[in-house]
Amino acid sequence: MLTDRQKLILKAIIEEYVTSNEPVGSKSLTEKPYLSFSSATLRNEMQELEENGYLKKTHTSSGRVPSDIGYRYYLEHLLIRDDSVTNYYKYVDEILDDRFLSKDESMKRMTNFISNLTGYYTALIGTTSDSAKVLKLEIVPLNDDEAVLLIVTNAGLVESQKIYIPQGYKMDDLMRIIGMFDSAMYGHSVYEIRDILSKEAAKPKIRQMVDFQDDILNFMIQAFERFLHGKVYEAGLSRLVEQPEFQDYQKVQKLIEGIEKQALANFSVDLVNGIKITVGTENISNGLSDCSLVNVPYIINDNEFGTILIVGPTRMNYRATLPLLEYVARSMKKLDKR
């Protein structure tokens, strides 16, 4: 259990290190008006914080830097959100209130805005409720040999694929096979579609059109996977690798691999517990051992939701980043019916 004085000192060290990226010594702490303690007292308290795992020494300085345990304690007990971030909320509103922007364009702009403002890697990851249902499967002929296949859900999600008519077949053949799938899938949730596709594909009338079957089935399977897992809008990887922690080429390679294999592949949307932060060695990937991952879930409507993911150094500016992401998440409902 930390004393009140130790809590003040730990908070001051973390927030100083976030700003300076330099190990913090007792001398710099004496300059803070709310730490009216002698240098000797500060050194003793810092020594005890280090012995208890909240701080660690670097090889290049007598100062201390926060450990992952220190950051975790800070996040759970000491963090006070920065009110000045509210100055940026109007820019969030401008993006999400713009009815001339499609939902897709709004998501892209929001991702870039967050990344530009924070300097961290940012991803908006969408997903879909298992209850989202197939509204229609439709063919739009382009000419005698080409058509666009559309899949639409009741959540307003659309996937499209150009289909080429094989030699020996006509547009009517394609229309007929799509009509069969359309009738079978209508009103079913996207979660059920794989089983329905398998059953329909086994029917003689569809199986004999083998030249169509593979193209259509592959597209539909991939489309429904995308409906379930949603699109990913990402920005800011170049900004992240400009941070001092990631100047080593091998470290950058591991960082990129960690983002792909852990942050993006294994993200979770926790609508019940809300914001989730993993710090440094709490991350599964070694490439993210110097990073903090922040996941803030958002809801657009009952069928569309997702998470805002930020990847930054462990000395991330949590005070400013968290309230910004929370405001964006609360505001995402503005994209409903867009």
pLDDT band at 158 (very low <50, low <70, confident <90, very high): confident
Q: Tens digits of per-residue pLDDT, 26-51?
A: 888 988 888 888 889 999 999 999 99
Report in angstroms the alpha-carbon separations of 92 from 80, 117, 332.
22, 11, 10
Question: What strands lie across the sheet with 158-164, from one edge to the other?
Answer: 134-141, 146-153, 158-164
Nearest of 261, 238, 247, 228 to residue 290 by alpha carbon: 247
Contacts (Cβ under 8 Å, ≥6 apart) of 199: 184
All residues at 6 or more sequence positions from 80 whose CB lies less than 8 Å from its CB, including other chains: 319
Structural domains present in the chain: 4-78 (1.10.10.10), 83-120+236-335 (3.30.450.40), 134-229 (3.30.390.10)
Burial class (CB in 10 A: 0-12, 13-18, 19+), 231: middle
Residue 105 tokens read as 């364009």
DSSP H or E segment with residue 318: helix 318-331
Evaluate whether 126 touches 235 at the Cβ level (below 8 Å): no
Q: Do 68 and 77 touch, CB atoms closer than 8 A?
A: no
Q: Report whether pLDDT(87) > 60.
A: yes
Phi, psi at residue 173, to the nearest 5°?
-65, -45
Nearest to 296 by CA among 122, 48, 89: 122
Question: Which pLDDT does position 271 carry in this prediction?
Answer: 65
With a cut of 70, say whether residue 191 has pLDDT above it. Answer: no
Residue 55 or residue 186, greater confidence: 55
- Cα separation, 298 vs 308, in Å, equals 7
The 10s digit of each residue's pLDDT in 220-255 is 666 666 665 567 899 999 999 888 888 888 888 889
At 17, the pLDDT band (50, 70, 90 cuts) reads very high
